[in-house]
Amino acid sequence: MTQRRRRLLQVAAVLGALFLLLQLIPYGHDHGAPASTKAATFPASDRALVAGACGDCHSNRTVWPWYSNIAPISLLVVNDVKGGREHLNFSQWDRPQPSLGEVLESIREGEMPPLQYKVIHGGARLSAAERTRLENAMQKAYAADPPPVGRGG
């Protein structure tokens, strides 16, 4: 065995051991959700759009994919969901949420859904028409049952 091949095997063994050790980190494996207190109401025709584009991170009804159990990806996924729920949560509509203007701006500017989510979830890649529908659905939800405003960032 050549010196170079032996070195590559050693590096691969160290990386493999680090990958296995990462699986022992408890953060990223908890897929629990805070208690739902009051759900936002969206038009029936737009519920699937809202759920597909926003629901995994902005509600307590997250559908956890298989890779959300494998570190280091699990660390990123759980962090994204936690941050999304803290910023805007359709399952806690009776608690402070960002202003409608802030939500619409995030949709219009293409910040939501974020790129890392769109790469893996094809249904979250919104056409211009879907983006307009999503904006309208948000406007209707805020108009029908306005949440307390005060969260965001």
The residues with which 92 forms a beta bridge, in sequence order, are: 38
The answer for residues whose C-beta is within 8 angstroms of residue 110's C-beta and 6 or more apart is none
pLDDT beneath 50, residues of the chain: 153
- For residue 29, the model assigns a pLDDT of 62
- For residue 26, the model assigns a pLDDT of 67
> Residue holding tokens 């409608």?
100
Name the residue ranges covered by the structural domains of the chain.
Answer: 3-144
- For residue 58, the model assigns a pLDDT of 95
The answer for residues whose C-beta is within 8 angstroms of residue 150's C-beta and 6 or more apart is 96, 97
The residues with which 38 forms a beta bridge, in sequence order, are: 92
Q: Please name the amino acid found at residue 100.
A: L
d(CA 115, CA 135): 18
- For residue 47, the model assigns a pLDDT of 95
* Environment class of 49 (CB within 10 Å of its CB; exposed 0-12, middle 13-18, buried 19+): buried
